[in-house]
Amino acid sequence: MNTRTCFRFITLFFILASTACGTSQEVSEPTLAPTTEISAPPTATAIPAAAIVNGEVISLTEFNAEVFRIQQAQEALGNIIFVDEAEERVLNDLIDQILLVQAARADGFTLTDAEVEARIETLAADVGGEENLSTWLANHNYTSESFFLSLKKAISAAWMRDKILADVDESAEQVHAQQILLYNLERAEDVQANLAAGADFGELASAYDPNTNGELFWFPRGYLLEKTIEDVAFLLAINTPSEIIETEIGFHIIVVLEKAEDHLLSPDALLALQEKALNEWLQKERETSKIE
């Protein structure tokens, strides 16, 4: 899909006026019309841009409309969002979208205007007709033209996003772990001493967290929020309690119950790895793109 911003060019028509020569019985010198100075045609005026990504313009109009929409959505949820925060989020999202659109185009994805119109007709039917859709567009600061262009870009970006996500394997090397989480070092040291004396890890984990029994379940590399715990888990021998691991939320002692070289990812883990893959792809594209 091509989302390249279209500039409006003004075609100048030059009218050449001819002068008629009157005749008389006396032959006279031809009279030249006075020279008219013709100014050079004006150059096309560039559309005001919020950003330019590899030569493609994100218009200021589109940017402002998206800022309005995100503020409107957050207000509807009862959230407060500051203008600077909204503008930063919108600009980053629009840049990411353009990068995805450009990659989709380079990868051979095409989308005709007729296909976009068909999507809009389906949307209109879903909301109860064209009148309802027009009302929705107006309420969300869209014109028919701007919605068409936004939808066209969104479809292409989604195609490329899904292609990136599809490259993430549904299984990976994983460990199944359990933890005991304490909130002061002295208590953690007491638990560690009990474990060294032969206390059962599972019983202690259940005692300190009866709701989850300390379960971390199966997880791959790149999944846990606390990378330190993850790094330790993949190095631990099975059923061997770790040393005390200090993080921002407390003091952890973990044990690995099972390991597998190729274990099916949970839906949540797959989603996390897909999100990571997408973010890494976007970061790489930003580093190699010209963004003004």
What's 128-160 look like in SS3?
Answer: CCHHHHHHHHHHCCCCHHHHHHHHHHHHHHHHH
- Taking the C-alpha atoms of residue 187 and residue 277, their distance in angstroms, rounded to an integer, is 39
Q: Which residues contact 110 (CB under 8 A, 6 or more apart)?
A: 1
Taking the domains of the chain in order of start, what are their residue ranges? 60-167, 171-264
Give start and end residues of each alpha helix (H) in 51-82.
Answer: 60-76
User: What pLDDT sits at residue 82?
Assistant: 87
Burial bucket for residue 105 (CB in 10 Å: 0-12, 13-18, 19+): middle
**pLDDT tens per residue across span 113-172:** 999 999 999 999 999 999 999 999 999 999 999 999 999 999 999 999 999 999 999 999
Question: What is the structure's pLDDT at 75?
Answer: 87
Confidence band for 287, pLDDT divided at 50, 70 and 90: very high
Q: Given the structure tokens 């929020």, which residue do they identify?
A: 225
CA nearest neighbour of 163 among 114, 105, 220: 105
171-264 and 60-167 share a CATH fold: no
Indicate the fold that domain 171-264 takes in CATH.
Chitinase A; domain 3 (3.10.50)
CATH number for 60-167 (one of 1.10.12, 1.20.1440, 1.20.1740, 1.10.4030): it is: 1.10.4030
Do residues 277 and 165 lie in contact, with contact meaning Cβ atoms separated by under 8 Å?
Answer: yes
Per-residue pLDDT at 45: 58
Beta bridge partners of 238: 256
For 241-262, the pLDDT digits (tens) are: 999 999 999 999 999 999 999 9
pTM: 0.76
